[in-house]
């Protein structure tokens, strides 16, 4: 099993890079014991600002097994969403660069779904879910 695990990890990471992700990590799906007090303090100190949704589903944010029953692994990815385009009209309202292009949630979700398809086709049905910003 270890050989398959290492082989599958390499396959997933290689495909993630091919899809344009900058980094790919794979970890055990488990309760995030060390992160629990940090998240609780962060929320209690209102560091989430106006993002009230961050206080929702506290338990699910700390245990991926509650999001996908039977989860064994979590694949975490990074993607640079830098937009080189500059705002040229100095009289126009200022807009954050991340808002110039297509909604990054959509862009990343499509790439995640491609990766999930690759996993299901090349490794086997895994019954996973794709999340952006979770």
Catalytic sites, residue numbers: 133
To the nearest 5 percent, what fractions of the chain are helix, strand and coil?
45, 10, 45
Spatial separation of the C-alpha atoms in residues 109 and 81, rounded to whole Å: 13
List, in sequence order, the alpha helices (H) in the chain. 2-18, 35-44, 58-62, 104-122
Of residues 122, 102, 97, the one with CA closest to residue 16: 122
Tokens of residue 113, six digits: 């779904």
């Amino acid at each position: 099993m270890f050989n398959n695990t290492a082989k599958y990890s390499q396959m997933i990471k290689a495909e993630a890079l091919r899809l344009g992700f900058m980094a790919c990590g794979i970890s055990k799906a488990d309760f995030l014991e060390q992160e629990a007090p940090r998240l609780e303090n962060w929320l209690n100190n209102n560091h989430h600002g106006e993002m009230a949704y961050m206080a929702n589903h506290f338990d699910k944010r700390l245990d991926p097994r509650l999001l996908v029953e039977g989860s064994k692994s979590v694949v975490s990815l990074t993607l640079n969403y830098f937009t080189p385009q500059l705002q040229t009209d100095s009289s126009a309202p200022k807009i954050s660069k991340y808002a110039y292009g297509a909604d990054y949630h959509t862009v990343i979700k499509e790439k995640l779904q491609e990766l999930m398809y690759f996993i299901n086709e090349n490794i086997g049905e895994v019954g996973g879910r794709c999340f952006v910003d979770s």
